[in-house]
Structure 1
Amino acid sequence: MNILIVDDDRTNLFIMAAIVRRLDDAEPVTMESPLDAVEWLRGNEPDLILLDQMMPDMDGIELLRHIRDDARLDTVPVVMITANTAVDIRVRALDEGCSDFLTKPVVVPEVQARLRNLLALRHSRALLRDRAALLAAEVERVTAALQRQGEELVNRLSRAAEYRDPETGAHIERMALYSKLVAEAAGCGGAFAQELMKAAPMHDIGKIAIPDMILLKPGRLSPEEMTVMRQHAAIGHRILADSPIPLLRLAAEIALSHHEKFDGSGYPNGLAGSDIPLSGRIVAIADVFDALTSTRPYKRSWKLEEARAYMVEHRGRHFDPALLDAFLSRWEDVCRIHHENAEELSELAPEAVHH
């Protein structure tokens, strides 16, 4: 452990350096000028500092002030060596962050005992700091692993849902990209937009519980069938809710809320306006737009401009006006996502869309 000794008296420097060398695992660094010490401390971090109180150019208290102004050195023990026994000097030094005092002439056993105690304290603090860093790194590692597990689970559940849902993997990819685009355009922040893109594919996971005769039925559903179909929102939420994985909790929120409508006429809870979670309001736009422009067993795909007109017509009714405006403000990107992830789409006249 390095001990910096600053004293303008060479004899004192020699004596204190000799005392330090008699300690286990301690090496002295000696300096006669406090100005040289300030320069040396800019690039070095000793384990303990011994300062003479009376020095030219800069006294010990002023040097102590420089030391404590450096955040790197705020926990380094500093011992003031002084022949002045005045209380006010000691109080000033303590106010500036002095750790201990030695009075001249020094008593060697006392010096050794005080330095050992302070070095032991320094060592303990270093261990705590290292342990805290290790714990922080471990927490970060576990959190990242949990995030990866969540993403893997979302991907696998989405894949499983594709086997039952007529909506293709291309639909899931497009609506996830649309969701991210809306979040970014609305100023929600990159981190949220990224998480939304990962969670959005789980929006209809509840459809795995819907009978094939309803899920795969071509044409309109009867009122009774529609009642069964609409249960998928609550079922999806039950599948995903209460997970320790944040990504799955976000997916659960989306599953439950993406069929709510801005005017309160949606399902399953009839929420309106800002009572609908932001994630659900965003995914509603992405999901409906892609449903309109995709082929389904019960409908043909709509042209992009026809779908746009439908979305504008339902602004403030089905869709959050501000979020829909954000979506439409990025129309070129919307078209790019649609074409880069296109399926074999057959564009005919608009037909009813069943959600």
Structure 2
Amino acid sequence: MLPIPESPGLPLSPDHATCGIAVLAAALDERDRYTDQHCDRVSQLAEALGRHCGLSDTRLGHLVLAARFHDVGKIGIRDDVLLHPGRLDEARMETMRSHPERGARLFTATGRSDAAAVAKLILHHHEAWDGSGYPHGLQREEIPLEARILTIADGYDAMTSVRPYRGPMRSEDALAILSREQDRLIDRRLFGEFQGLLREHAEIAG
């Protein structure tokens, strides 16, 4: 598991806030090992893409934390939804769609000085470029840039890693699927940056 980062450029958080974030990490690992490991990988991908896009240290710190805990709201999702071995029906999907709001509330409860900024990114990591996402149906630049980066990193890792019901996709296949989602789910410009990042650093492709 990756160490829990402090947001660069921000004052050190109080001990209770640091403890709170460590508890969140441990709880996520206990709840679902796959989700915890997925969050680790997404955090690394998002950090690399954020650096590639020239984010400031402060914004990069927020992004890294949001990526590390973007699925922490799944702690509150019941087993027959979270661990369901296949495509979710509409009722289960509605429950699953509550995890960004749950996660934002959990991260806010850490009491960190950066909690509100990070929670906002957790809340919006399933918004879509065309407004069809959730929970608020934001579109285009209404969606925070860091959340748009997180959407790409999240989707890529989900496709290229082992899931309970299938093996990992090849990188080129995952990129082909993401390419078809430009201007619908994801920001076209950021996807171009992601492709450039993978060309420059092939090891990131996993």
TM-score by length of 2: 0.85
TM superposition shift of 1:332: 3.9
- Structure-1 separation of matches of 2:103 and 2:204: 26
* Contact 2:18–2:112 (8 Å) recurs in 1: no
Letter paired with 2:92: E
Q: Alpha-carbon deviation of 1:188?
A: 1.7
Instruction: Give the SS at the match of 1:143.
Output: coil
Instruction: Flag the 1:172–1:338 CA change in 2: closer, same or farther, 3 A.
Output: farther
In structure 2, what is the equivalent of residue 143 of structure 1? 11
1:161: how far off? 1.1
Q: CA shift at 1:249, angstroms?
A: 2.2
Deviations 1:310-351 (A, max 9, x none): 111111111112221111111146641343xxxxxxxxxxxx
- Which residue does 1:173 correspond to in 2? 40
Q: Distance in 1 between matches of 2:19 and 2:177?
A: 35
**Structure 2: 5+ residue runs without aligned partners?**
1-9
TM-score using structure 1 length: 0.51
Q: Structure 1 stretches (4+) deviating beyond 4 angstroms?
A: 148-152
Q: 1:288 to 1:143 in 2, by over 3 A?
A: same
1:205 aligns with 2:72: yes
Quote the sequence identity (%).
34
The question of whether the paired residues in 2 share the 8 Å contact of 1:154 and 1:199 is answered with: no
- Write the letter of the residue equivalent to 1:172: C
- Pair 277,293 (structure 1): closer, same or farther in 2 beyond 3 Å: same
Residue identity in the other structure for 2:145: L
Query: Which position in structure 2 is the counterpart of 1:91?
Result: none
- Counterpart contact for 2:198–2:204, Cα < 8 Å: no
- Structure 1 CA distance for aligned equivalents of residues 204 and 26 of structure 2: 21
Q: Counterpart of 2:188?
A: 321
Q: Which amino acid aligns with 2:156?
A: F
Structure with greater strand percent: 1
**Equivalent residue for 1:258, pick from 106, 122, 125:** 125
Structure 1 unaligned runs (5+)?
Answer: 1-141, 340-355
Retained in 2: the 8 A contact 1:206–1:239? yes
CA contact (8 A) 1:219 1:298 kept: yes
1:232 maps to amino acid: H
Instruction: State how far apart, in whole Å, the 1-side matches of 2:166 and 2:33 are.
Output: 12
The answer to whether structure 1 residue 292 and structure 2 residue 162 are counterparts is no
Residue 239 of structure 1 and its aligned partner are, at CA, apart by 1.9
| Superposed CA RMSD | 2.3
- Are the counterparts in 2 of residues 219 and 299 from structure 1 also a CA contact under 8 Å? no
CA distance in structure 2 between the aligned counterparts of 1:179 and 1:151, rounded to whole angstroms: 22
Alpha-carbon spacing, 1:323–1:172, altered in 2? closer, same or farther (3 Å)? same
Check conservation: 1:199, 1:248, Cα contact below 8 A. no
